[in-house]
């Protein structure tokens, strides 16, 4: 007999599902941002920051619920790790948007849109996976696909770096753009860490 983990986990699964939806909304906003005219950036950056705050609240809710729960659906450290890595995803997207606005960078290189499209695909997989955490052993495909996306993101990032440093831009502009591009790459890495956290839960259930 397999005992369902639903009852003890219900609240956790709800909160993770909410975070998954919030990541989906954040990445859509990011896609709008990187294609938007420069004069719209400040307002979009504010909306991104509101999503980042909402994500923070949900993360704190999970950690408080964890600290107060006697029985948890998975190992406590796995729940903590999953919540932290999901939080990192939105933090890095918010930082990218924030820096692009603050630095008043001009049009973003094409590679940035490519980075963002890959983040979008990872976000969709993540939002779909969160409501299914009660059956972690069915989430191994999620882990494999996010890892593939991260490899693609790495290639895009490397092409972007070599374009940034090809001598066509002055050093200050390179520094600004690199800060933005690095945050987007960190967001792709953070998705991989989310997938690793899910994978670690899945392996223990196998």
Please give the C-alpha separations between residue 98 and each of 45, 90, 205, in angstroms, as whole numbers.
6, 12, 40
Check binding of 161 to its own copies (CB under 8 A).
yes
The 7-26 contact track toward its own copies, x by CB under 8 A, reads --------------------
Judged by CB, which is closer to its own copies: 65, or 132? 65
Residue 93's closest CA among 122, 119, 117, 56? 119
Which range touches its own copies (CB under 8 A), out of 11-19, 86-94, 126-134, 160-168? 160-168
Q: How is residue 148 written in tokens?
A: 């593939």
Of residues 32-91, those binding its own copies (CB under 8 A): 63-64, 67-68, 77
64 and 151 Cβ atoms separated by less than 8 Å: no
Which range touches its own copies (CB under 8 A), out of 28-36, 40-48, 99-107, 123-131? 99-107
Check binding of 106 to its own copies (CB under 8 A).
no
Please give the C-alpha separations between residue 53 and each of 26, 90, 107, 131, in angstroms, as whole numbers.
11, 9, 27, 21
Check binding of 203 to its own copies (CB under 8 A).
yes
Which range touches its own copies (CB under 8 A), out of 11-19, 127-135, 138-146, 161-169? 161-169
Judged by CB, which is closer to its own copies: 101, or 116? 101
Q: How is residue 127 written in tokens?
A: 């939002």
Residue 177's closest CA among 91, 110, 126, 125? 110
CB of 179: closest distance to its own copies in angstroms? 9
CA angle, 115 as apex, 52 and 165 as ends, to 5°?
115
Residues contacting its own copies: total by CB under 8 A: 26
Q: How is residue 80 written in tokens?
A: 């903590």
167: left (phi over 0), alpha (psi -120 to 50) or beta: left
Which range touches its own copies (CB under 8 A), out of 15-23, 40-48, 116-124, 157-165? 157-165
Residues near its own copies, by CB under 8 A: 63-64, 67-68, 77, 98-99, 102-104, 158, 161-162, 165, 167, 170-172, 174-176, 178, 200, 203-204, 206
């Amino acid at each position: 007999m397999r005992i369902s983990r639903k009852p003890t986990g219900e609240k956790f699964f709800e909160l993770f599902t909410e975070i998954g939806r919030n990541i989906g909304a954040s990445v859509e906003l990011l896609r709008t941002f990187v294609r938007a005219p420069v004069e719209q950036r400040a307002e979009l950056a504010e909306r991104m920051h509101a999503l980042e705050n909402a994500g923070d609240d949900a993360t704190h809710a999970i950690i408080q619920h964890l600290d107060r729960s006697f029985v948890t659906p998975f190992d406590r450290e796995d729940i903590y790790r999953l919540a932290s890595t999901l939080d990192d995803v939105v933090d890095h997207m918010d930082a990218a948007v924030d820096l692009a606005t603050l630095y008043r960078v001009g049009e973003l290189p094409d590679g940035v849109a490519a980075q963002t499209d890959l983040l979008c695909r990872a976000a969709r997989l993540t939002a779909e996976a969160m409501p299914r955490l009660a059956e972690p052993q069915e989430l191994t495909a999620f882990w494999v696909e996010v890892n593939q996306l991260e490899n693609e993101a790495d290639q895009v990032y490397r092409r972007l770096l070599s374009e940034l440093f090809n001598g066509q831009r002055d050093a200050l502009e390179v520094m600004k753009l690199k800060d933005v591009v690095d945050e987007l790459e960190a967001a792709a890495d953070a998705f991989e860490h989310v997938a690793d956290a899910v994978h670690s839960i899945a392996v223990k259930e196998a």
